[in-house]
């Protein structure tokens, strides 16, 4: 009987029709789905460390700190205790989002005059004069105090275990580590910490960092004071003094992150939120405002027409961002004007459908900066619907090149993004925060909420806009929206643009005919396109996680407590 049914003409016709009408699958990974929590990072063991905290009764903030601490150990090429942190937190019980800016300030005494007196014509890109106060531990402390449920001793237990016992280095991280060998070998502290046996660890080799375990134990015992005062702070001051820096004990002890009000715009009915300056998130929102003036869904995903609009929108938005973004305590950017739909309409009118613009000027409202792409983005949610969108970074690979003695972490080089141009709002000054590339994001519509981010220097805001378009214009799930091929333009001038090779060659050819200087890069080019994570929660309480295959990570779901059989 069964055989006759399977071979019947009616069955075969139905089967063939179904095959013809089902869209071909283009995703490499399926979306992770659960009723419980998810942690998504660029290193699977770090994701699992966050999930371990969820399963021990912690919430999304506890899990995010645990995962961030773990990835600082496991992906030191991109982040760690010596870097900065930004976060957006969605609190389920109030329905509100909160922004945290934990980016550090320049040390006392560091001025343009001092640097020019030492022969510098531009901001140093490595070394002590590129170092700003690390903000991450202050960020953790503020997140835990306001939203967390666990003490640091429990939150940091997984990473302390891995720092002591070791973990296998993953493939993409190992490749980046190997590429930094020369820089790491230049100072004895960084060499001793990150080049065991005189070389970078290979993929699959076990790496341990007992000095970092000691530093983490101080934080577990004393919170922020275990980092900004005491032996860790003394080690930072020691390497500053040894290398001619201007850090004081007060620069560290008095630093504190800042709660900020997120900025937002609407795009096709979605409310998209970023953090205000000193970050570049405003550029993503300006891009979206310009893109909304064009029917991208009609043009088709990654068609030449759609790509041309987005690339030109990127140039316009970034020109404004670069001109007006700086530490708001020193310069008040015209944020309301920059985010107005009227401003977007005026900027959109500058896009020539038949020609790429190779020079774009900022708008007149009431420096050349080198790109950097060594950052991690991660996100976490719990069974109650709390969500954390968090980004953390050293800036350029391994940061400044300086490891404070006995601490096991690298100091960031975020100060490299200052300018010595005294007429620019982003000019270096004591206790000033530089223009920042790293940005977390959040979007919501009709009870559906998505915490997302894509790392990668100046790639970030343009990648955010592409992700939002993938969801809003093309109805992609969060995994597909991360996976699909992207473009990026790492520079602020010229017509150069990179396209991943998975984009139709016909689109690339059409862009060249418009004057774009297209360079085709690898199909999953994490080096230029960055890598992202995303978590979505729908109104029914189902959580969906996505993780970018351009990185080593995964979206890992929480396992609920199951009675023993």
Contact between 388 and 453 under an 8 Å Cβ cutoff? The reply is no
DSSP labels for 164-215? HH-EEPPHHHHHHHHHTHHHHHTSHHHHHHH-GGGSPPPTT-EE--HHHHHH
**Between the CA atoms of 337, 342, 347 and 350, what dihedral angle is there, to the nearest 10 degrees?**
-150
Q: Which stretches of 409-474 are assigned E, i.e. beta strand?
A: 441-445, 448-454
Strand partners, 390: 87, 378
DSSP letter at 457 equals T
Residues ≥6 apart with Cβ < 8 Å to 430: 105, 106, 107, 108, 109, 110, 111
- Token couple for 251: 């620069």
Catalytically active residues are 375
Q: In terms of Cα–Cα distance, which of 537, 540, 558, 340 is closest to 443? A: 537
Q: Distance of CA 465 to CAs 92, 285, 311, 376, 419, Å?
A: 25, 7, 11, 18, 27
* 139/151 Cα distance (integer angstroms): 15
* 345/366 Cα distance (integer angstroms): 18
- Token couple for 259: 């709660």
């Amino acid at each position: 009987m069964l055989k006759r049914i399977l071979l019947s003409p009616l069955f075969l016709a139905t089967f063939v029709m179904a095959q013809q009408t089902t869209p071909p699958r283009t995703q490499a990974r399926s979306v992770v789905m659960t009723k419980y929590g998810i942690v998504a990072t660029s290193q699977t063991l770090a994701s699992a460390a966050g999930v371990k905290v969820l399963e021990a009764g912690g919430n999304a903030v506890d899990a995010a700190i645990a995962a961030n601490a773990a990835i600082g150990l496991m992906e030191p090429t991109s982040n760690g205790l010596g870097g900065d942190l930004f976060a957006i937190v969605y609190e389920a019980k109030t329905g509100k989002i909160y922004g945290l800016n934990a980016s550090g300030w320049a040390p006392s005494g560091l001025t343009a005059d001092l640097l020019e007196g030492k022969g510098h014509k531009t901001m140093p890109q490595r070394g002590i004069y590129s170092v700003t106060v690390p903000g991450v531990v202050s960020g953790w402390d503020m997140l835990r105090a306001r939203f967390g449920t666990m003490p640091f001793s429990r939150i940091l237990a997984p990473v302390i275990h891995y720092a002591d016992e070791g973990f296998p280095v993953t493939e993409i991280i190992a490749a980046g580590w190997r590429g930094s060998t020369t820089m790491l070998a230049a100072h004895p502290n960084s060499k001793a910490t990150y080049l065991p046996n005189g070389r970078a660890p290979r993929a699959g080799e076990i790496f341990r960092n007992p000095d970092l375990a000691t530093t983490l134990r101080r934080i577990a015992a004393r919170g922020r004071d275990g980092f900004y005062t005491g032996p860790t702070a003394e080690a930072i001051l020691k390497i500053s003094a040894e290398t001619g820096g201007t850090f004081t004990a007060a620069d560290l002890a008095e630093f504190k992150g800042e709660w900020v009000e997120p900025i937002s715009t609407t795009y096709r009915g979605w409310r998209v939120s970023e953090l205000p300056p000193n970050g570049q998130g405003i550029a993503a929102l300006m891009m979206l405002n310009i893109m909304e003036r064009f029917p991208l869904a009609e043009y088709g995903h990654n068609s030449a027409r759609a790509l041309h609009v987005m690339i030109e929108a990127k140039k316009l938005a970034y020109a404004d961002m670069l001109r007006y973004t700086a530490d708001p305590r020193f310069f008040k950017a015209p944020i309301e004007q920059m985010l107005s739909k009227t401003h977007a309409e005026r900027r959109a009118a500058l896009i020539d459908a038949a020609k790429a613009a190779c020079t774009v000027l900022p708008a007149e409202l009431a420096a050349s900066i080198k790109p950097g792409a060594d950052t991690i983005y991660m996100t976490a949610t719990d069974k109650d619907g709390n969500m954390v969108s968090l980004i953390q970074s050293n800036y350029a690979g391994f940061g400044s090149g300086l490891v404070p003695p006995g601490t096991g972490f690298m100091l960031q080089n975020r100060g490299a993004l200052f300018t010595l141009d005294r007429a620019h709002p982003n000019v270096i000054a004591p206790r000033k925060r530089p223009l920042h590339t790293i940005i977390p994001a959040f979007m919501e519509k009709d009870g559906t909420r998505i915490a997302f981010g894509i790392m990668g220097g100046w790639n970030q805001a343009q990648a955010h806009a592409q992700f939002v378009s993938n969801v809003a214009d093309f109805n992609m799930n969060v995994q597909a929206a991360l996976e699909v091929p992207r473009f990026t333009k790492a520079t602020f001038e010229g017509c150069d643009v990179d396209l991943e090779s998975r984009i139709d060659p016909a689109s690339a050819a059409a862009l060249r005919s418009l004057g774009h200087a297209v360079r085709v890069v690898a199909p999953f080019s994490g080096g230029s396109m960055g890598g992202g994570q995303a978590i979505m929660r729908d109104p029914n309480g189902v959580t969906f996680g996505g993780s970018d295959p351009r990185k080593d990570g995964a979206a890992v779901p929480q396992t609920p407590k199951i009675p023993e059989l």
